[in-house]
Amino acid sequence: MAEHTAIINAAGELRRALERGAEEAAVHAAADTLAGLLHPHTSAEEVGLFSVMRREEQFTEHIADLCSEHTELDERLAAVRAGDHAAYPAFEHLLRQHIDREDNGLFPAAAIALDGPDWAEVEQTTPPAA
């Protein structure tokens, strides 16, 4: 969840760069910083926690939705970086909604549903934070 805070803070930096009409190089730098936090984080979730949780039928659809959102977030961020600055509000809305679904839905459910061996597997398969 600490990574989510860093991602939201980086998204705020990108929003501020766009709002002040920063040069494209500054927008690219802010977008690259955000992508540098977002991509490793979403990849780690998918190969670690998500891969363990999707084995339980009750979580399969929710995990699939979150993985789809990861892809959509990547695409929307790439569009903003490529110059579609008007796409930023929809990106930020999806990002915040996605993080809320994880922090207040999936992660508490994981704390209840997973046991010791499951958590050991999550730890073993999750790449270390960058």
Model pLDDT for residues 80-96, shown as the tens digit of each residue: 999 999 999 999 999 99
On whether the CB atoms of residues 86 and 16 are closer than 8 A, the answer is no
pLDDT at 116 over 70: yes
Q: How many CA atoms lie within 13 A of 84 on its CB side?
A: 11
Q: What is the pLDDT of residue 22?
A: 76
CA 37 to CA 48: how far, in whole Å?
17
Q: What angle do CA 71, 20, 74 make, to 5 degrees?
A: 5
On whether the CB atoms of residues 10 and 37 are closer than 8 A, the answer is yes
Q: What is the pLDDT of residue 130?
A: 58
* Whole-structure pTM value: 0.91
In the DSSP assignment, the letter for residue 87 is G
Give the three-class secondary structure for 55: coil
Rounded mean pLDDT of 6-15?
A: 97
Model pLDDT for residues 15-69, shown as the tens digit of each residue: 999 999 879 999 999 999 999 999 999 999 999 999 999 999 999 999 999 999 9
pLDDT band of residue 77 (cuts 50, 70, 90) is very high
CA 1 to CA 14: how far, in whole Å?
20
